[in-house]
A and B are shown apart, each in its own frame.
Chain A
Amino acid sequence: QKEVEQNSGPLSVPEGAIASLNCTYSDRGSQSFFWYRQYSGKSPELIMSIYSNGDKEDGRFTAQLNKASQYVSLLIRDSQPSDSATYLCAVTPFSSGSARQLTFGSGTQLTVLP
Chain B
Amino acid sequence: GAGVSQTPSNKVTEKGKYVELRCDPISGHTALYWYRQSLGQGPEFLIYFQGTGAADDSGLPNDRFFAVRPEGSVSTLKIQRTERGDSAVYLCASSLEVTDTQYFGPGTRLTVL
Report A's interface with B, CB cutoff 8 A.
Answer: 4, 8, 42-46, 49, 88, 90, 98-107
Report B's interface with A, CB cutoff 8 A.
Answer: 31, 33, 35, 40-45, 48, 55-56, 59, 91, 95, 98-107
Check if B98 sits within 8 Å of A44, measured CB to CB.
no
Chain B residues with Cβ under 8 A from A99's Cβ? 48, 55-56, 98
| In the A-B complex, the 3 residue pairs with the closest CB atoms | A104-B42, A43-B104, A101-B45
CA distance A31 to B17 in the complex (A): 40
Chain B residue nearest to A93 in the complex (CB):
B45
Check if A100 sits within 8 Å of B104, measured CB to CB.
no
- Knowing A43-B91, A43-B107, A44-B91, say if A100 contacts B42 (CB, 8 Å): no
Check if A90 sits within 8 Å of B104, measured CB to CB.
no
Check if B98 sits within 8 Å of A98, measured CB to CB.
yes
Interface residue SS majority, chain A: loop
CA distance A100 to B106 in the complex (A): 20
CA distance A8 to B40 in the complex (A): 9
Chain A residues with Cβ under 8 A from B103's Cβ? 46
Known: A100-B31, A100-B98, A100-B99. 10 other contacts (CB 8 A): A4-B42, A8-B40, A43-B106, A46-B103, A99-B55, A99-B98, A104-B44, A105-B42, A106-B41, A107-B42
Most buried by A among B42, B48, B103, B106: B42
CA distance A106 to B43 in the complex (A): 8
Chain B residues with Cβ under 8 A from A100's Cβ? 31, 95, 98-100, 102
Chain B residues with Cβ under 8 A from A42's Cβ? 106
A105 CB, nearest partner CB in chain B, Å: 5
